[in-house]
Amino acid sequence: MTTDTKRILKNALELPAKERIIIVDHLISSLDQPDEHIDSLWRKEVEDRVEAHQSGKIRSVPLEEVLSKYSKQWK
């Protein structure tokens, strides 16, 4: 690891969790390359989940409930 990389990492680790999440998201997105096989697997997964929800096999959770549950962990 270069000196610059170590410095950037040290500074990033001092940021609040929310800001680190944003950085991680940007870094991962920069590495993401299109992959038709993976895309087709995700399409199938989405179709399966929609079907399961519509048939009542799974239930959805309101956004407010999810945000309330996890926002406490990010503070």
The structural domains of the chain, with segments of one domain joined by +, span: 1-32, 35-75
What does the DSSP assignment read for the chain?
--HHHHHHHHHHHTS-HHHHHHHHHHHHHHH----HHHHHHHHHHHHHHHHHHHTTSS----HHHHHHHHHHHH-
- Put simply, whether the predicted model's pTM sits higher than 0.75 gets the answer no
Contacts of 17 (CB under 8 A, 6+ apart): 74
pLDDT of residue 42: 94
Distance of alpha carbon 15 from alpha carbon 54, whole angstroms: 42
pLDDT of residue 66: 92
Distance in Å from the first CA to the final CA of the chain: 31
Please give the chain's pLDDT, 75 residues, in tens. 999 999 999 999 999 999 999 999 999 989 878 889 999 999 999 999 999 999 999 999 999 999 998 887 776
